[in-house]
Amino acid sequence: MSVTAYQGRSITVRIEPVVLPDGRQIELDVVRHPGASAVVPFETDDVVLLIRQFRHCADGMIWEIPAGKLDGDTPEVCAAKELEEEAGRRAGRLERLGSVWTSPGFTDEVIHLFAAFDLEAIPPRPEEDEIIEVVPTPLAAALEMVWSGELRDAKSALALVHAARHRGMLG
């Protein structure tokens, strides 16, 4: 029988009985998450919008792309909403890039990755806890930030790699 150890605003931590493939039975702590979407906004053919966002768990400002929790929306609706809220852009077109497990050793969170094109500037609507700076960045420079370790957010790094491949920059 599964037991809820903690119920928060964004996650649920459960202690779950598991039968391993070899037949052993164990209990695991599992973080249940509704999933999220992340979007690489293309301002032009070769310029993307990165955001610098305050993240308490990372002890300060980090480089990311717009992203957020599904909250009952489809991944596409979530990506469009987060782009508007965090970057102040409305997408004329969204293209799916893939999806990633964030850390399947302890959570079921899946983040859906998108690229956004044909952007229209609108007023951003950051949430109360969001401190965000939008920074137009050449895609090649954003990739260099990944390779150098300056951009360490996994969802953002992988989304940028997918976007670069989608644009024909990577094999």
Active site residues: 128
Pairing of strands 110-121, 36-41: parallel
Phi, psi torsion values for 124, nearest 5 degrees: -65, 155
Strand partners, 99: 112
Rounded distance, CA 3 to CA 57, Å?
26
| Alpha helices in the chain, H assignment, sequence order | 75-82, 139-148, 154-166
Residue pair 164/170 in contact (Cβ under 8 Å)? The answer is yes
